């Protein structure tokens, strides 16, 4: 039997406890799969056992999916497909096991873990906030390859199954119960008793009676399912622009499962899964996954102080968002603004967000109340007395940041002071600090609750204690954390600035707003660069442009001031409903361009610029800036550069980030592209010196991530 499995007999029930040694979570690997087979052999022969129950000993985790590292051990699709068949044969055996098999789930049940419980005869889950279900394989460029595309549509109906498989989103306990994914819910301390009750029910009734609604049944088991597949395919193509092969293969596999024989459905799933595992898109997405896993380990953890309470200065959009993720993580939060009305507005913003989650049955009223009790809105600096970490989220003006630093330090002189600035050098902020070693950057992205990245910025004076503590707070908040060195724009804002500037130049050359945004969405960005300016704010774009202008000007690349002119004319973007796009009634539905904006770019007459040219110019200028950041030691690793670009700025995930992308297309091709662009458009495309170094040495960025 596997070291990860323990068997315990209680009356006529065998509890199989999943508990992978020396790991916080259970992962389906080769040894665990083999262990399941041994357990089934033992239980099947034992006449003293009537029922088998799978349960986990891990706090907040049932099974966290398959061991993705295994995928890189295979070099041929046929070999990989044979391995997958072993796993699916095991789940088939569970499904057809002569004794009832129950899954008793507390915590995350993800990927292969969900596919395991789908093969069980009954499923009980706790209503704990840690319990959630998902099939996130699509985020790795894969499909659920152990029966997920076959069993899930039959269990919950095709529409719900496609929604789960095509998005990789989390399904929470009450949602799971409602759709039929889970048969019953219980409190986490009553899980074994509930499993015992379910064992008795199965012994009495033989099986759980489950029925799909008439609509769900028609869309799953009648010719009407073609409508569901057709609509799903249209949505996939609209959202992915054809850049991701996995969603279409999920549809193909699910269709085979519902229209062909059972064996043919499973064979189709295995074949498609094995092919996807060897695509460049999956390789890039898995590379990001491993990078994110690596970033979960705080390299400064030994120096980190234990923090239970933080202060937040500024209760606006960013401040209230930071308060939300911090209080959710169990931290006590002092939310301060210039007056109590502003502080309460931020407090109620968090409350409104939680109310929506209650309505969607994602969290309970009890959990919401407990979280709100951890937030103290105030206008009084006295509430910050003794608080060990203070995060400021005030206006992007150096004088204001100096003011709040001094005022907060008077209450808590030894506190770590973290700035949420997106562009002001942290060393400039630290100049007014009595303890500059305690000043650090914690750059969050909006909306804080949804954006996964936290960019920590350290100066030459920042202490390891400050870095480690900020990193640990970010991990608690559920963020993927990167640490970069101080400099104008740090990393993410620095590589975004030339990207936005290039869009402005293209507009000045006569390109239309739609053509630029459409070209870059086709390239793989989730939001077009011009729409992004509206989202972050034209005022912010103007400020960033001014802050980074000296650096770009020194390199012979004139940054321009068009964004400032547009801002001076009263344009802020979405925040005041006046930007590159229209946000009035005429702009409802499909976004419409605000034609008045063209007055800043030579007039309303637009001309066609080749899509490939737009994509090459926009992508190359961002990738090259990332290379310069590594060359100038703003970045410590290519890994952090890829994470920052993808998770913070939306660089196409299927390309893996600027450095993975460069490895993929080859340094030589990127250099050739940059040299041509430099000849045509000037110094802003001058290739980073590091590219020549890597070309000569033959090194890969992934080898030094």
> Hey, CA dihedral for 39, 45, 47, 52, is it positive or negative?
positive
Distance (Å, rounded) from C-alpha 145 to C-alpha 138?
Answer: 11
Q: How many other C-beta atoms lie within 10 A of the C-beta of residue 368?
A: 19
Q: What is the maximal distance between C-alpha atoms in the chain? A: 85
Three-state DSSP class for residue 212 = coil
Q: Which residues contact 373 (CB under 8 A, 6 or more apart)?
A: none
Do residues 579 and 533 lie in contact, with contact meaning Cβ atoms separated by under 8 Å?
Answer: yes
Q: Where are the alpha helices (DSSP H) in 334-419?
A: 340-359, 365-373, 398-411
What is the side-by-side order of every strand in the sheet holding 453-458? Answer: 375-378, 332-336, 309-313, 389-392, 416-419, 439-444, 453-458, 480-485
In whole angstroms, what separates CA 521 from the centre of its chain?
18
Strands 13-18 and 51-56, bridge-based pairing: parallel
Three-state DSSP class for residue 75 = coil
Distance (Å, rounded) from C-alpha 125 to C-alpha 109?
Answer: 10
Distance (Å, rounded) from C-alpha 515 to C-alpha 528?
Answer: 10
Do residues 392 and 454 lie in contact, with contact meaning Cβ atoms separated by under 8 Å?
Answer: no
Token pair belonging to 152: 């899930």
* Nearest C-alpha neighbor of 280 from the set 243, 235, 332, 308: 243
Q: Choose the catalytic residue: 81, 281, 455, 625.
A: 455
Strands 309-313 and 389-392, bridge-based pairing: parallel
Torsion of CA 59, 144, 259, 242, to 10 degrees: 130
Residue 455 appears among annotated catalytic residues: yes
Distance (Å, rounded) from C-alpha 252 to C-alpha 143?
Answer: 10
Q: Which residues contact 195 (CB under 8 A, 6 or more apart)?
A: 13, 15, 53, 55, 102, 104, 124
Token pair belonging to 306: 């234990």
Distance (Å, rounded) from C-alpha 148 to C-alpha 131?
Answer: 19
Distance (Å, rounded) from C-alpha 28 to C-alpha 61?
Answer: 13
Active-site residue list: 455
């Amino acid at each position: 039997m596997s070291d990860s499995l323990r068997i315990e007999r209680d009356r006529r029930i065998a509890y199989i406890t999943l508990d992978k040694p020396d790991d916080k979570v259970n992962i389906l690997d080769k040894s665990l799969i083999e262990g399941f087979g041994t357990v089934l052999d033992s239980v099947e022969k034992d006449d003293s056992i009537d029922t088998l129950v799978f349960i986990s000993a891990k706090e907040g985790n049932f099974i966290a999916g398959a061991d993705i590292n295994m995928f890189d051990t295979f070099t041929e699709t046929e070999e990989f497909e044979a391995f997958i068949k072993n796993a699916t044969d095991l789940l088939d055996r569970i499904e057809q096991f002569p004794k009832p098999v129950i899954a008793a789930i507390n915590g995350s049940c993800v990927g292969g873990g969900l596919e395991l419980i789908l093969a069980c005869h009954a499923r009980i889950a706790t209503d704990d906030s840690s319990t959630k279900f998902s099939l996130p394989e699509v985020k790795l460029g894969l499909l659920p390859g152990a029966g997920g595309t076959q069993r899930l549509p039959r269990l919950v109906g095709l529409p719900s199954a496609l929604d789960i498989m095509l998005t990789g989103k989390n399904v929470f306990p009450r949602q799971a119960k409602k759709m039929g994914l889970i048969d019953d819910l219980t409190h986490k301390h009553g899980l074994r008793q509930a499993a015992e009750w379910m064992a008795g029910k199965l012994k009495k009734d033989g099986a759980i009676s489950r029925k799909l609604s008439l609509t769900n049944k028609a869309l799953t088991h009648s010719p009407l399912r073609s409508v569901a597949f057709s609509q799903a395919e249209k949505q996939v193509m609209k959202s992915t622009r054809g850049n991701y092969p996995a969603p279409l293969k999920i549809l193909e596999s699910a269709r085979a499962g519902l229209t062909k024989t059972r064996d043919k459905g499973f064979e189709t799933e295995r074949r498609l899964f094995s092919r996807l595992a060897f695509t460049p898109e999956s390789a890039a997405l898995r590379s990001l996954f491993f990078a994110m896993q690596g970033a979960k380990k705080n390299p400064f953890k030994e120096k980190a102080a234990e923090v239970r309470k933080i202060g937040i200065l500024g209760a606006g959009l960013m401040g209230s968002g930071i308060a939300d993720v911090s209080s959710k993580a169990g931290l006590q939060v002092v939310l301060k603004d210039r007056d109590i009305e502003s502080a309460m507005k931020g407090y109620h913003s968090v409350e409104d967000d939680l109310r929506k989650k209650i309505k969607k049955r994602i969290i309970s009223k009890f959990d919401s109340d407990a979280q709100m009790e951890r937030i103290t809105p105030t206008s009084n600096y006295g509430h910050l007395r003794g608080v060990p970490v203070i995060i400021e989220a005030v206006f992007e003006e150096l004088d204001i940041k100096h003011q709040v630093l001094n005022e907060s330090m008077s209450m808590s002189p030894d506190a770590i002071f973290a700035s949420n600035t997106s562009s002001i050098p942290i060393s400039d902020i630290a100049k007014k600090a009595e303890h500059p070693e305690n000043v650090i950057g914690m750059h969050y992205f909006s909306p804080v609750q949804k954006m996964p990245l936290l960019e920590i910025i350290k100066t030459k004076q920042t202490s390891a204690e400050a870095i480690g503590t900020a990193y640990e707070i970010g991990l608690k908040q559920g963020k993927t954390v990167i640490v970069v060195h101080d400099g104008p724009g740090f990393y993410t804002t620095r590589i975004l600035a030339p990207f936005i500037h290039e869009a402005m130049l293209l507009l000045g050359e006569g390109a239309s707003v739609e053509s630029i945004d459409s070209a870059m969405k086709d390239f793989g960005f989730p939001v077009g660069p011009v729409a992004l300016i509206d989202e972050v704010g034209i005022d912010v774009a103007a400020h960033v442009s001014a802050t980074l202008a000296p650096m770009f000007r020194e390199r012979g690349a004139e940054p321009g001031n068009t964004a400032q002119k547009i801002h001076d004319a009263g344009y802020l973007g979405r925040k005041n409903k006046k930007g590159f796009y229209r946000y009035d009634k005429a702009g409802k539905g499909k976004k419409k361009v605000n034609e008045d904006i063209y007055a800043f770019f030579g007039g309303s007459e637009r001309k066609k610029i080749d899509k490939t040219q737009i994509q090459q110019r926009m992508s190359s200028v961002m990738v090259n800036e990332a290379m310069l950041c590594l060359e100038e030691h703003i970045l410590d690793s290519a890994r952090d550069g890829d994470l920052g670009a993808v998770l913070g700025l939306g660089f196409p995930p299927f390309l893996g980030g600027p450095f993975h992308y460069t490895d993929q297309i080859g340094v030589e091709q990127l250099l050739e592209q940059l040299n041509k662009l430099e000849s045509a458009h000037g110094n802003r495309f001058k290739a980073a010196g590091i590219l020549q170094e890597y070309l000569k040495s033959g090194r890969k960025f992934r080898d030094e991530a």
